[in-house]
A and B are shown apart, each in its own frame.
Chain A
Amino acid sequence: MKDIRLVVQRFDPSVDRKPRYVEFPVPFREGMTVLDAILQARDYADHSIGVRCSCRQASCGSCGMKINGKARLACYTQVAELRSEKVVVQPMDNFPIIKDLVTDLDGFFDRHRELLPRILRADEAEMESPTAEYLMSPEELDKILQFTYCIKCGLCTSSCPTVGTDSLFPGPQALAQAYRYTMDVRDEGGGERFELLDTRHGVFRCHYAGSCSAVCPKGVDPALGIQLLKRHVMSAKPPRGNGEGARVWTKGS
């Protein structure tokens, strides 16, 4: 490939009535990522292209967008793997557009926070001022490890069909993290989370379309976590929901 045709969706809600697509020829280099191409276009052709990026190595989750119709991280997508000289980049679906490829993630983070993504203990005083370590064996960590890999890029939420219409649905990211914390052996807050999940717009509005797991760049597999979470919510028995069972290190043990 000599040149690729980078087509960028341009849309500034404060001045534009509808999106337009602007094409930039970008010289192709071996190993070039879509983010490289966008930054090249921004640096040399049009400084006003709006794009959010940071780490360039699929750690921060900043550069989520739609690339040739699929939700991907721009820094993690090689131009060569698209097998097309035309690369169309658009903002992620289901997130309000701030400008061009930059979307508003505030609502996304709010949904995440609403499902209590932290270790909760029955003894609040002990939780605020712990007197000892909470124990977790390597085997217990393995059971939730993949769900801890979430970088909150939003690709899963942008692909979810329910999020496309239901503004009260938490989305796959928040639900997968709810599973992660509920199944964490150090956590005793399952009961509180179940109250939030067992609602009209809660975990049961997931219908296992699986697009979240298909697009996740970190192997979190939210669809798996959510289906396993549904089983627990259905049984109405949160693990360690009543303050029992969480182990604490004591000197000499």
Chain B
Amino acid sequence: MRESRLMLVQYVTAAAAVVLVAIHLLLQGVLVPYGTAISFGTVLSAYRSVISIVFLELLLVVVLVHGFNGVRIILHELRQTASWSRWVDAGTVIAIVASVGYGTRTILLAVLMGVSS
């Protein structure tokens, strides 16, 4: 992928992250009292709301793509050998897939499974 396209992804995810993270922080203590926001019941009800589930998944993808692409850029500036460059690019994709996968797993389990003790 051209670097300009990757940078466009970086800028779009940046703008989206500013909005989504701001909403996330507002809901974790400003619009909803902090203690209530992190209580088991409130979190569970969030995973029962479609809007909330979509919001959380979007936040997950946007923040992790932006973050790991940023680290990719930093690592490319650190060393410039051919093998390092290949590993950085591959590592970025693996890191994004793994972390988004783990977060999505949390969301899916919370949405689909019943409460255990």
Q: Is the CB of B80 within 8 A of A201?
A: yes
A202 touches B77 (CB 8 A): no
- Say yes or no: is B32 at the interface (Cβ < 8 Å to chain A): no
User: In whole angstroms, how far apart are the Cα atoms of A167 and B7 in the complex?
Assistant: 21
Interface size classification for chain B: 10 to 19
B residues in contact with A168, CB < 8 Å: 80
Q: Quick check: is A166 within 8 A (CB to CB) of the other chain? A: yes
- Among the listed B2, B4, B76, which residue makes an inter-chain contact with A166, where contact means beta carbons less than 8 Å apart? B76
Q: Is the CB of A165 within 8 A of B3?
A: no
A204 with B3: CB separation less than 8 A: yes
A34: CB under 8 A from chain B? no
When distances are taken between beta carbons in the complex, the residues of chain A under 8 Å from B8 are 234
User: B residues within 8 A CB of A205?
Assistant: 73, 76-77
Docked complex: A165-201 residues within 8 A CB-CB of B: 165-169, 198-201
CA distance A162 to B74 in the complex (A): 10
29 contacts between A and B (CB under 8 A): A162-B77, A165-B77, A165-B78, A166-B76, A166-B77, A166-B78, A166-B80, A167-B80, A168-B80, A169-B77, A198-B2, A198-B3, A198-B4, A199-B3, A200-B3, A200-B76, A200-B85, A201-B80, A202-B3, A204-B3, A204-B7, A205-B73, A205-B76, A205-B77, A233-B4, A234-B4, A234-B7, A234-B8, A236-B4
Residues of A near any B CB (own CB < 8 A): 162, 165-169, 198-202, 204-205, 233-234, 236
* Cα separation A162 to B4 with both chains bound (whole Å): 18
Closest residue on chain A to residue B73 by CB atoms: A205
Bound-state CA distance A201–B85 (Å) is: 11
CA–CA, A28 and B28, complex, Å: 64
Q: Classify the secondary structure of B's interface with A.
A: helix
> Which residues from A are CB-within-8-Å of B4?
198, 204, 233-234, 236
| Closest B residue, CB atoms, query A162 | B77
* Contacts of B1-36 to chain A: CB distance below 8 A: 2-4, 7-8
Closest to B77 in A: A166
**Residue interface mask B76-114, A partner, CB < 8 A = 1:** 111010000100000000000000000000000000000
Closest beta carbon of chain A to B42's beta carbon, Å: 39
A101 CB to closest chain B CB (Å) equals 27
A234: chain B residues at CB < 8 Å are 4, 7-8
The complex places the Cα of A200 from the Cα of B4 at a distance, in Å, of 9
* Chain B contacts for A202, CB-based, 8 A: 3
Residues of A within 8 A of B78 (CB): 165-166
